[in-house]
Structure 1
Amino acid sequence: MSIEMYSLIKRRVAGSPTKKAILLYMADAASDDGSGIWVSKGNMAADLEMKSKRTVQTNIAELVAAGILSEVGQRKCKNGFTIEYRINVDAVSSLPQTRAGNAPLPQHIAGAGNAPVQEMHLTGAGDAPPPVQEMHPNHPLNHKGTMCPADTGHTQPLDLDFGPFFDEVWRLCPRQDSWSQTEEAVKAVIDGGAVPADVLGATRAYAKRTAGHDPSRIKYSQNFFADGFWEQFVPKRAAKVDQAEILRRRAADIIAGKSFLTRSISAHAAGECITAGLVTAEQCRDAGINL
């Protein structure tokens, strides 16, 4: 256990009680320089009394995305391997202190000070309004205000609470394989303008179609969403999104400046929105898109 690392993390704003608990748990296994962390996520979830291993995986992924943790390699274990992590001391040191005048939580805790973390888009100064609340687990660490659950009647990605949505997709997949790869595949489909109801409907239809089939003839979950294969199973009653609608949604993501969504938008895709007169080049650059 690193007493120095534990003490440093204890008085820094981690973004949520869950993230703080995970960081303190990791500090218990770390060296003084933050290295040498390889712990079972399942054991961590059990020891911290969290609902599932996925909760640990999701929060660690956020901390890695924010630059607070780094993946440095793999360690063999009885189940194959586990990822070795390092706590980035400079990044943690640059986080706001928990007792610094009882200041409110920052909108983006990564990238503060001179920490060598990924580029973030900071909020305005003074009385500038807060940014749009970001809700997906892979969003930058933004915890100001209360997150509202998505209305199940919504089909717009801007209204979509991706976590529960993906949980439902995963539950319906008839041949589950890689959770993380399937999540990325579904995320790409949604980012491309697909209607969530279509994705659910197609997954449900495919599961029904392949019920009782030999597993070798059923697509792995991540492959089902690759190369548009899933689209042939969209129920006919579900309307597909036309290209103009895709551009409008993409432009809305750019204007909103949601990094989770905009980081998947290429310069070419942004250029289509510019050509259509839906956004400006300056708005694209402000959203972190390199034209």
Structure 2
Amino acid sequence: MSIKVMSMVFDRYPSGGMERLLALAMADHASDDGTRIWPSVDELARKTMQSRSSVQRQIRRMVETGWLIQVRSATGRPGVTNEYRICREWIEGGLVPVPERGVNLTPLSPSAPAEVIHTGVNLTPVSEPERGVTTAERGVTRDERGVTAMTPESSEPSMNHTPLPPDGGADGFDEIFSTYPNQANRLKAERRWRRVMPSAALQRTIRAAIAAQRLSRKWTKEGGAYVPEFHTWLRNMGWCDGDGTGGTAVLWDTNRSTIEAKAAELGLQPWNEADLSVNRETFVAYTERVRRLVERAKEGEACASM
């Protein structure tokens, strides 16, 4: 998100209405220099509450006026969309350069006169087909004898996740992921990171939480076998689980999973149904046993600090 570019759109974008709203949505995905814009058509349609065809038509107009420049085309692979950037002159405070009108074509050699078809009394001349440019509903395409503007995107693959940038990486992800003990499934982790889109303050909280939790008994047990994968940790807002991380600590007796996690930290085995027949210990009694151990641990810490 670039507040700087969004402010510029509010102040200087030449058109109004739904096209200006789409320009704001583009700026919401841009960097401060107007680059790295790759939202899907479905995402833009959702943000502006328009149809896909309206969004595609407005994007074509932005490209034709020169305010928006397409720098990469979609390949058809899931997660890869068209990439755009905003005109550099406009970002620097100037005007959008007026695009050159028309298309330069390679001169064609003289051809024979147009063929004439006899249709009775009247003679209907058949016009000579154009050999330099091929046109279609969606614009002009490339031909051996002439080159024209790039064809705008026609469709996007349906996706249930935010697409990754074409060159990989996400702001802050590489630095934080490198400090996380379990680095399995990097692609899933990066996709989840882009869904969370953590602010600078939240990234500081995440770094502090990882630094604290990697020293915990649970994460160091059996060589880190119980460290969750990073995408799971992000989905469960793991930065809220520890003390001193800047987040809100989750109570250990919130549910069965948190109770058994606390029990594991204290060296107890998880509760199972067999305990009912062997020890006649219900889960409530198991929880009370964990609670007593927690209180003893707190008393021991208090004595040690005196």
TM surpasses 0.5: no
Choose between structure 1 and 2 for higher RCO, CA contacts under 8 A separated by at least 6 residues.
Answer: 1
TM-score range, shorter chain: 0.3 to 0.5
TM-score (norm 2): 0.31
